Chains A and B, each alone.
Chain A
Amino acid sequence: MIELSFAEIVELILKVLIFPGVAFPLLFAVIVIWFERKFLARIMLRIGPLHVGPFNRTGLLQPIADFIKLIQKEIIVPENAYKFLYNLAPILAALVASLSVAFIPYAPKPDGGYWVIFYTPLSLLVILAIFTARPFIMVGAGWASNSKYCTIGALRAALQLLAYEVPIVLSLASIVIMSRSFDLSRIIESQSSIWFIVLQPIGFIVILISMMAELSRRPFDIPVAEQELVFGWPTEYTGTQFALVMVSEYYDLCAVASLITLFFLGGWMGPAIPFIPPMLSGIIWFLLKMAIVTVVIIMGRGIYPRLRIDQLLDAGWTVLIPLATIQILITLVTAQWWLPLVGGG
């Protein structure tokens, strides 16, 4: 039994319930859904949500209104569905998606530790393990729905997600080479003098594209292609279950934006903001960079059509994997010159 002091218990509750625990991804999802709708509406010369919410003509509370509407709806389970797995899959999806924030450090603490729910020196591997679980939930949901569109969508999801995990792992290899650690907080510390986006631009592009494919954001939203498969693997879900699937998507987006910030944009690194404690300013810098990454990921939906599954797999296997390998080679060859620049160590 580990003895915890009162301050530690308060800190743990703060971490688990508010930031970066339960409340933060939920708030992120609400804000991003609203922002995405408003932002895309501007690109498309529309207005977007308008009436719901406190401020005039912003529609700020529209996602919450939508969520309330969704949980009021009846949950319809198809007659031929494999009911246990069918009902379990959305809960699992949301759970697994919200797991990854537990391992992401968001700021350094004044006492030398990190603001992270569960600290482990191998957090990178844990995150990768969590990401590997996602395609199986999708396949399970698609198969359990016992509907043709869902099955095709699930197969596409499996092909796409499994194919794009390889370039992610390969690019992360070059990051691990540079930072000499599997510890996410150490990866950030090692960027104290120069961000990895400068040292590894190829790796950054590969990760950004692969992560977009992992998230099924356009132009890679092939598993849920509306015009072909209605809604892909979650087609049959209604009400709360659909809300869970939607929220899990944005939880994943939150995790991915945090990870890209952390791997390439120096995490909480940034000039100290006056009159604000260093930990808080670290969090602010982290969130700012996260916001930029999120906007870039969202923008794909406004400016690109969707790719076809064979084109996507082609791009994954023949372009991104070789690029990631080249990045590893470049990193290995040039590491001796860059390593003195890399902090932490």
Chain B
Amino acid sequence: MKLSMGPQHPITGHFRFILDVDGDLVIKLDPDVGYTHRGIEKLAEKRTYPQNLPVIERTNSYCDSVGTMLGYLEAVEEVLGLEVPERGKYLRVIAAELNRIASHLYFLSLGAVATGFETMLMWTINDRELVLDLMERLSGQRITYTYPIMGGVRFDMPDGFKEEALKRLDYLGKRIEDYYTMAAKNHTFKMRMMKVGILKPSDAIRLGIVGPNLRASGVKADVRKDEPYEVYDRFDFMIPTGKNGDSYDRVGMRLKEIEQSISIVRQAVKDIPKGAFKKWAPYIVPKGEAYTRVESARGEFGYYLVGDGGIKPYRLKLSPPSFRNLIALPHLCRNVPLGDVPIIFITLDLIPMDVDR
């Protein structure tokens, strides 16, 4: 029996899956994407470099907007040969890591709701507000910040931000322990998550999986460590890796990464240097090309930018993490019970907007 799951379905978001179902067993899954295609790559060719910022941000706005924009800015600044002031770099890292925390909390809520665990959904969404409020203090917005701009960041750190951030992160650190008791150690949660959607390390590398999903399979790969951008080489953090590569590891991965991000933000707000936080950036970008990659919350985000000496980019190619991870979904959804499909889909952390661009 063919079952068309989505695009109007409680769990699939803007995706549509065409499932081959035999009773309660899914034999094959065929993702049908494109419901949120906005042609961002083409739009970017019609706008000037600063005008592109909010557009690029919309690639993945409601989860990880700073992580998405950083790569574009890196590419533009590489072509320009522009060096961002130290304070600006630190502020970018703070914003990116806070955004990563928010994004992972959002992931945890979806991961819980895939198993029908509404309490975890509400708890994590509630605590995400703390981080969003913090971002609002920093940038004036809750979801789409457009906070980093060419040559630095838009605003300086407000007064009292450091104390407030430390206070909230302390609370969040305590809440993480609650999440462990409520979900990660919950027997029923384990029953649903463990041994579901096992992605072997060799398969993960072969399929080109990136980000936390790759690390959950036990491969230590993180752009922040492998090829440090901004000031990530100055912080003391580790890259957690999973053992089995199942859905449970992918959830645990996010919990551990939130802990690491909390530690990075703590270090960053403590040793942030004084000085300018932005620098004047020229409007016209010279001829040249650049490929940059950043570690967004969902994994490695690649940008290829070609400038032709005008005020608009000649070509901008995005390689978003959700698109790379999408290939794992049909791979993992072969001969699995129907009840496992939402779990595999959600724990891969696929965002339709990110896939379609």
Nearest CB of chain B from residue A234's CB, rounded to whole Å: 15
A226 touches which of B10, B337, B338 (Cβ 8 Å): B10
Let me know if A292 is at the binding interface, CB within 8 A: no
B10 A303 Cβ-Cβ under 8 A: no
Q: Mark B176-214, 1 if CB is under 8 A from A, else 0.
A: 000000000010110110000000000000000000000
Most buried by B among A230, A301, A305: A305
Q: Contacting chain A: which of B109-117, B146-154, B305-313? A: B109-117
Let me know if A31 is at the binding interface, CB within 8 A: no
Closest to A311 in B: B191
A305 B115 Cβ-Cβ under 8 A: yes
Identify which of residues 259-286 in chain B touch chain A, using a CB-to-CB cut-off of 8 Å. none
A305 touches which of B1, B188, B341 (Cβ 8 Å): B188
Let me know if A218 is at the binding interface, CB within 8 A: yes
Contacts of A229 in B (CB 8 A): 338
B338 touches which of A152, A302, A304 (Cβ 8 Å): A152
Let me know if B21 is at the binding interface, CB within 8 A: yes
Let me know if A11 is at the binding interface, CB within 8 A: no
Most buried by B among A225, A308, A310: A308
A302 B119 Cβ-Cβ under 8 A: yes
B188 A148 Cβ-Cβ under 8 A: no
B342 A307 Cβ-Cβ under 8 A: no
Query: In the complex, what distance in Å separates the CA atom of A152 from the CA atom of B22?
Result: 10
Contacts of A218 in B (CB 8 A): 116
Closest to B345 in A: A227
Contacts of A225 in B (CB 8 A): 116, 339
Identify which of residues 285-342 in chain A touch chain B, using a CB-to-CB cut-off of 8 Å. 301-311
Query: In the complex, what distance in Å separates the CA atom of A268 from the CA atom of B116?
Result: 36
Nearest CB of chain A from residue B267's CB, rounded to whole Å: 30
Q: Mark B294-326, 1 if CB is under 8 A from A, else 0.
A: 000000000000000000000000000000000
Identify which of residues 34-52 in chain A touch chain B, using a CB-to-CB cut-off of 8 Å. 40, 43-46
Q: Mark A191-232, 1 if CB is under 8 A from B, else 0.
A: 000000000000000000000000000110110011111100
Let me know if B126 is at the binding interface, CB within 8 A: yes
Query: In the complex, what distance in Å separates the CA atom of A149 from the CA atom of B10?
Result: 13
Contacts of B123 in A (CB 8 A): 44-45
Query: In the complex, what distance in Å separates the CA atom of A307 from the CA atom of B126?
Result: 25
Let me know if A12 is at the binding interface, CB within 8 A: no
Beyond A226-B10, A227-B11, 12 additional pairs, beta carbon < 8 A: A152-B338, A155-B24, A156-B24, A226-B11, A226-B116, A229-B338, A301-B118, A305-B116, A307-B191, A308-B340, A309-B24, A311-B191
* Chain B residues engaging chain A, CB cutoff 8 angstroms: 1, 3, 9-11, 21, 23-24, 112-119, 121-123, 126, 186, 188-189, 191-192, 337-342
* Chain A residues engaging chain B, CB cutoff 8 angstroms: 40, 43-46, 148-149, 152, 155-156, 218-219, 221-222, 225-230, 301-311
